[in-house]
Amino acid sequence: MNYFVTAIGTNSGKTLISTILVEALQADYYKPIQSGTEDLDYETVEEYSNNNYCIVYPSQFILKTPVSPHHAAKLDHIEIRVSDILWPDTPNTLVIEGAGGILVPINEKGEFIADLIQSIDCEVILVIDIYLGCINHSLLTINELKRRNIKVKGIVFNGDSIPETENIILQESGYRCLLKVNREPVINQEVIKQYAITLMANFYND
């Protein structure tokens, strides 16, 4: 099974959660579209995972400007279509990281990250970072996932825990919590490994 890591918005912790998944599942990693070249997410996954079995694939499209992919691609004088995406040919589990949330546009032709998700057989891992307003953003995202009949493995909460916020999101979505990640002062391979162990204890416990 492939797993697509998406979130309720940008800067939600998708790369951190993807690294934990790669470590937990001994999986390969691929982020097909990267906007901005200052910090390449696939290099972050390579740095913090300690997995001798996985392959971290470079992004197919590395766009210069850290804005929405449709805008960044336009600035680079290219157009990206879902049908352009080349998926790694691997027998291993593949962890795929999206860009921003599910309704981030890929182009001006009406294709979104959600369409990219639907183009490959996968289950979604939804990352929800905790902040004022995240309930609304979470439930809007969840409604769209359900409207499109996209399979969801579960939710990962990222940030300082607020049980009332987490509980209402889980209650209204019907999804389960796979992991809670704190705001760690330092991220290193040992921190990733400890979260990977916790994730595996919950991952297949449907």
pLDDT digits (tens, 9 = 90+) for 193-202: 999 999 999 9
Return d(Cα 151, Cα 5) in angstroms, integer. 12
The pLDDT of residue 194 is 96
Instruction: State the pLDDT at residue 197.
Output: 96
Q: Give rounded-to-5 percent helix, strand, coil for the chain.
A: 35, 25, 40
CATH of 6-203, one of 3.40.50.1220, 3.40.50.11270, 3.40.50.300, 2.40.110.10: 3.40.50.300
Give the whole-number percent of the chain exceeding pLDDT 90.
Answer: 92
Tell me the three state secondary structure of residue 37.
coil
Task: Examine the residue annotation and report whether 31 is marked as an active-site residue of this protein.
Answer: yes
Q: In this model, does residue 206 exceed pLDDT 80?
A: no
HSE-up of residue 54 (Cα within 13 Å, Cβ side): 28
* Catalytic site residue from 14, 31, 64, 151: 31
**Residue 50: predicted pLDDT:** 82
Q: What is the pLDDT of residues 178-190, one digit of tens each?
A: 999 999 999 999 9
